[in-house]
Copies of this chain bind each other. A is one copy, B any other.
Amino acid sequence: MAEVILLNGGSSSGKSGIVRCLQAVLPDPWLALGTDTLVEAMPASNAGIEFAPDGQVIVGPEFRRLEAAWIEGIAAMARAGARVIVDEVFLGGADSQKRWQKALGELRVLWVGVRCDSAVAAGREVARGDRVIGMAASQAEMVHRGMVYDLEVDTTRTESLECARTIAAQVS
């Protein structure tokens, strides 16, 4: 049985909705932590992450250093007995996956790719109203490059709750 569920997908691909549904359908309580939690925990300025007006996300060495420690911490939480759902945006594709794999080590991880048609994700980005326009389109394909998943879901025409049920069925 998986100890960590790691979801990777572009901005506005529907990860957060799936995570909340997973927490609702999984019988045990799972912690939900992810990129958004880390960005929120960073200082408002000088954190080494920048959101360009065109939707590009530029990440510097200072961010990477704190992120590495963050990843170690998540792994430690799972080793200490917490079930953890991580939702991530692997800007570095397969390199990002390797960083997580190294930290998670022997832990049983369910790797999930969350796909969404680029144009549909871009439309949902407009509908959300709280994201820099352009992130969805620029990340939709990029984050999946070279990735290896146990399972992929596609939110283009499938509801979050249904995706969550598909994932949950692989957990136990």
Contacts and interface: CB of A to CB of B under 8 A. Distances in A.
Given A37-B37, A73-B73, A21 B123 contact: yes
Copies of this chain per assembly: 4
A32 B126 CA distance: 15
B82 A77 contact: no
Interface in A1-60: 16-18, 20-21, 23-24, 29-33, 37-38, 40-48
A161 interface: yes
Q: Chain A interface: which size bin?
A: 35 or more
**SS class, residues of chain A in contact with chain B:** helix
Contact of A31 (B24, B44, B70, B127): B70
A161 B128 CA distance: 11
Interface of A: 16-18, 20-21, 23-24, 29-33, 37-38, 40-48, 62, 65-66, 68-70, 72-82, 120, 123-124, 126-129, 157, 159-162
